[in-house]
Amino acid sequence: MPRQGKNIYKRKDGRWEGRYAKNTEAGRTQYGYVYGKTYNEVAEKLSLVTASASNEASYESITFSNIADEWIKLQAAHLKESSVAKYRNILSIYLLPKFGNCAAHTIRRSEIIAYSGFLLTNGNKGQAGLAPKTVNSILSVMKSILKYAARELNIPIADLSDVSVRQPQKQCEF
């Protein structure tokens, strides 16, 4: 009977042990171990560990630019052309130059807040700041793309639910 390669063994103390390869350094493989009371319990733990390791490795290859391309194609199917054009402009002018080459799971909340502050102070080409409404539109597109990544690709993202720019209130005149 051929070997299945699951690396699950019963120990002398009665527990089951599962071994998996963590990484390879200097030609040597480092192993991780999981333990359980039954064979099936260890097999389930091993599959979870190896699945999370493979997902984490695949996260590195998915950049913000790739996700934005998928998202804009999806949006183009059910939005007006003018809305899609606006989103494309926001992506090409503001978001892709800053976050395009970053892996989506590495984008932090603090980076986005700092970038929105930068846009408010000197985000325009003439070194003048953008209007708060424009910065909120940029943040809205960013949030939508990252929510899409979390929902469709199961990529862990930063919580951006309350990130926005406060717009100054106009005085009412009577």
More confident residue, 125 or 88: 88
Cα(56)–Cα(76) distance, integer angstroms: 30
> If you average pLDDT over residues 36-57, what whole number do you get?
78
DSSP output for 31-89: EEEEEESSHHHHHHHHHHHHHHHHHHHHHHH-BHHHHHHHHHHHHHTTS-HHHHHHHHH
CA angle 138/144/149 to nearest 5° reads: 130
Kindly report the pTM of this predicted structure: 0.63
Would the pLDDT of 1 be above 50?
no
Report how far residue 125's alpha carbon sits from residue 16's, in angstroms, rounded to the nearest whole number: 63
- In this predicted structure, what is the pLDDT of residue 77? 85
pLDDT of residue 151: 84
Query: How many other CB atoms are found less than 10 A from the CB of residue 146?
Result: 24
Whether the predicted pLDDT of 138 surpasses 80:
yes
Radius of gyration of the chain from Cα atoms?
Answer: 24
Q: Which domains does the chain have, with CATH numbers?
A: 8-61 (no CATH), 64-153 (1.10.150.130)
d(CA 115, CA 140): 13
User: Dihedral angle at the C-alpha atoms of 136, 137, 143, 147, nearest 10 degrees?
Assistant: 150
Tens digit of each residue's pLDDT (9 = 90 or more) over 65-118 = 888 998 999 888 888 999 999 999 999 999 989 888 888 888 888 899 998 888
Provide the pLDDT for residue 4.
Answer: 60
Of the ranges 23-37, 105-119, 131-145, which one carries the lowest mean pLDDT score?
A: 23-37
The label of the residue with tokens 């402009």 reads: 89
If one compares 102 and 17, the residue with the highest pLDDT of the two is: 17
Kindly state the DSSP code that residue 29 receives in the 8-state scheme: E
pLDDT at 86: 94
